[in-house]
Amino acid sequence: MKIPKYWAKSEGTVEKPDGEPLSLMAWGWSEDSVAAAAAHAKQRFGSLVDRVRQGLELPRGYAYGSRPLREQILEELHGSDGALRGLLTRNSYGSVVLNAAQAMFVDVDLPEGALEEKKGWFGSKSGGEAAALDGLRGRLQQSASGGFRVYRTAAGFRLLATDRLYAPASGDAERVMRAVGADPAFVQLCKVQDSFRARLTPKPWRCGKRPPPGQFPRDDASEQREFASWVAEYDRASASKATCRFVEAVGPGAVHAEVAPILALHDERTKANAGLPLA
């Protein structure tokens, strides 16, 4: 999985060809050390300076799915053979995310109102969650063989492949994800990070909380204290919410030995069987 442990930034001011000053900042990352991340940041900053001096346009920030995400690693998950099978990270808006090496999660967000039943002539009803679920089953049957667990989320559905492992950047994984309607940016991010992602805790605004102050890594002591206070408040606010609800198993019921602990952790942390409101 390509989720860097260490991050550093390099910043400064450069003159554009017309003499106008421009402030620049670049992040660097590394799996090895802060020093290596700092060297990478300096290298990337130098590339930006060269572009400015040549009068070229700068890249437009960190496009989702084009570079590793800058997230705090909270916990490592290892398989029975000691290999790294997953990471828990905290994303930019404060939710805890499961990054799985080979257990394929796919979130399928639906258009607003797609899960609501619509009344027709003489009181007949159409659409709603049952119809959306039927459509999802059909796409699964056409695009994939094997077992899946289906979960309801606040915005649609989540799938977990249970009886086999997938490589995140493989053609098989991409084919399934695109067939069931995954966001193309999500598909690209799986390739970039070489992992599958599943949010484990609610989005803060669905629990009446704002996103956390600052951005990771938080080096200032006062910012760290403020963030720790936010986490405690967020944990209290999200305790009565679930991130997804288990709906059904589709296909063979067998669960791969390396998927089983990921599945158990996911269902526990998301409160998938608790019957709580989704957030």
Q: Are residues 105 and 34 in the same domain?
A: no
In this predicted structure, the answer to whether residue 8 has a pLDDT above a threshold of 70 is yes
Q: How many separate domains does the chain show?
A: 2
pLDDT recorded at residue 115: 66
- Structural domain contains residue 66: no
- How far apart CA 42 and CA 187 sit, in angstroms, is 30
Q: Are residues 114 and 252 in the same domain?
A: yes
Q: Two tokens at 14?
A: 């450069």
- State pTM to two decimals: 0.87
- How far apart CA 244 and CA 160 sit, in angstroms, is 12
Q: Are residues 37 and 76 in the same domain?
A: no
- Domain of 38 in residue numbering reads as 6-53
How does the average pLDDT of the chain come out, rounded?
90
Q: Are residues 135 and 245 in the same domain?
A: yes
Residue 231 belongs to what H/E stretch?
helix 221-238
Q: For 152-197, what is each residue's pLDDT tens digit?
A: 999 999 999 999 999 999 999 999 999 999 999 889 889 889 999 9
Q: What b-and-e string marks burial along 221-254, b requiring 16 or more CB atoms within 10 Å of the CB?
A: eeeeeebeebeebbeebbeebbbbbbbeebbeee
Q: For 105-141, what is each residue's pLDDT tens digit?
A: 999 998 876 666 554 444 444 467 888 899 898 888 8
Report whether 3 contacts 195 (CB < 8 A): yes
Long-range CB contacts for residues 209-215, cutoff 8 Å, separation at least 24: 209/94, 209/233, 209/234, 209/237, 209/238, 211/92, 211/93, 211/94, 212/93, 212/94, 215/70, 215/92
pLDDT recorded at residue 48: 93
The model's confidence at residue 59, banded by pLDDT at 50, 70 and 90, is: confident
Q: Are residues 15 and 138 in the same domain?
A: no
Q: Are residues 43 and 170 in the same domain?
A: no
pLDDT recorded at residue 153: 96
- Structural domain contains residue 160: yes
> Among all chains, which residue has been given the structure tokens 């709603």?
128
- Structural domain contains residue 218: yes
For residues 93-116, average pLDDT: 89
In this predicted structure, the answer to whether residue 62 has a pLDDT above a threshold of 50 is no
- Structural domain contains residue 65: no
Q: Are residues 255 and 151 in the same domain?
A: yes
What single-letter amino acid sits at 217?
A: P
Q: Are residues 166 and 229 in the same domain?
A: yes
- Structural domain contains residue 58: no
Q: Are residues 83 and 28 in the same domain?
A: no
Side-chain-facing half-sphere of 244: CA atoms under 13 Å:
28
